Structure 1
Amino acid sequence: MSQQSEKTTQATAIYQKLRADIIHGAYTPGAKLRIDGIAAKYDVGSNAVREALSRLSSERLVERHEQRGYTVPPVALGDWQVLARTRCFLEGNVLKESMRHRDDLWEENIVVAFHRLSRFSSREGSREGWEDAHRNFHRALIANCGSPWLIDFCDILADHAARYISFSNAFRKAPRDGLREHEALMKAVLHGTPEEACECLTRHYTRTLEVIEELFERDKLPAAPPSAAVADLAGSVAKLMSKP
Structure 2
Amino acid sequence: MAHSSASATKRTLASSTHDALRKEIIAGQIEADSRLNIRHLAARFEVGLAPIREALSRLSTEGLVTQTDHRGFTVVPVSVEELWDLHHARVQLNALALRQSIARGDAAWEERIVVARHRLLRSKRPADDVFDPEADQWAMVHKDFHHALLSACESARILRYCDQLFDECERYRHIARRVSTERPGVSEEHRAIAEAAIDREADLAIELLTEHFRRTAERAEQGLVARAAGSVTAAD
Deviation at 1:61, TM superposition (A): 1.4
Match of 1:205 among 200, 209, 213: 213
Deviation at 1:220, TM superposition (A): 5.0
TM-score w.r.t. structure 2 length? 0.84
Match of 2:115 among 109, 112, 116: 112
Q: What is the identity, as a one-letter code, of the residue corresponding to 1:17? A: A
Q: Which one scores higher on RCO, CA 8 angstroms, separation ≥ 6?
A: 1
Q: Deviations over 1:95-147 (max 9, x none)?
A: 00011112111111111111111111377664432221110000110111132
Following the alignment from structure 1 to structure 2, what is the Cα–Cα distance between the partners of residues 9 and 215?
A: 35
Q: Secondary structure at the match of 1:55?
A: helix
The verdict on how the C-alpha distance between 1:146 and 1:41 changes in structure 2, with shifts beyond 3 A counting, is same
2:233 aligns with: none
TM-score w.r.t. structure 1 length? 0.82
1:230 aligns with: none
Following the alignment from structure 1 to structure 2, what is the Cα–Cα distance between the partners of residues 57 and 78?
A: 20
Contact 1:33-1:71 at 8 Å conserved across structures: yes
1:32 aligns with: 35
Contact 2:62-2:168 at 8 Å conserved across structures: no
Deviation at 1:150, TM superposition (A): 1.5
2:182 aligns with: 175
Following the alignment from structure 1 to structure 2, what is the Cα–Cα distance between the partners of residues 7 and 115?
A: 37
Consecutive unaligned residues in structure 2, runs of 5 or more: 231-236
Q: What is the identity, as a one-letter code, of the residue corresponding to 2:146? A: H
Q: Deviations over 1:168-209 (max 9, x none)?
A: 21x121221210110111111112421211111111101111
Following the alignment from structure 1 to structure 2, what is the Cα–Cα distance between the partners of residues 91 and 105?
A: 20
Match of 1:133 among 131, 137, 141: 141
Q: Secondary structure at the match of 1:50?
A: helix
1:65 aligns with: 68
User: Would you say 1:165 and 2:173 are equivalent positions?
Assistant: yes
2:157 aligns with: 149
Following the alignment from structure 2 to structure 1, what is the Cα–Cα distance between the partners of residues 151 and 83?
A: 25
The verdict on how the C-alpha distance between 1:200 and 1:47 changes in structure 2, with shifts beyond 3 A counting, is same
Q: CA RMSD in A?
A: 2.2
Match of 1:187 among 195, 206, 215: 195
Identity of aligned residues (%): 34
1:91 aligns with: 94
Contact 2:119-2:141 at 8 Å conserved across structures: yes
User: After alignment, is 176-185 or 118-127 more displaced?
Assistant: 118-127
Contact 1:116-1:133 at 8 Å conserved across structures: yes
Following the alignment from structure 1 to structure 2, what is the Cα–Cα distance between the partners of residues 162 and 111?
A: 23
1:10 aligns with: 13
Contact 1:121-1:179 at 8 Å conserved across structures: no
Q: What is the identity, as a one-letter code, of the residue corresponding to 2:190? A: H
Contact 2:63-2:164 at 8 Å conserved across structures: no
Consecutive unaligned residues in structure 1, runs of 5 or more: 223-244
Following the alignment from structure 1 to structure 2, what is the Cα–Cα distance between the partners of residues 217 and 5?
A: 44
Following the alignment from structure 1 to structure 2, what is the Cα–Cα distance between the partners of residues 116 and 41?
A: 36
Following the alignment from structure 2 to structure 1, what is the Cα–Cα distance between the partners of residues 175 and 63?
A: 17
Following the alignment from structure 1 to structure 2, what is the Cα–Cα distance between the partners of residues 21 and 217?
A: 21
Q: What is the identity, as a one-letter code, of the residue corresponding to 2:107? A: D
The verdict on how the C-alpha distance between 1:175 and 1:40 changes in structure 2, with shifts beyond 3 A counting, is same
Q: Secondary structure at the match of 1:63?
A: strand
What is the number of residues matched between the two proteins? 221
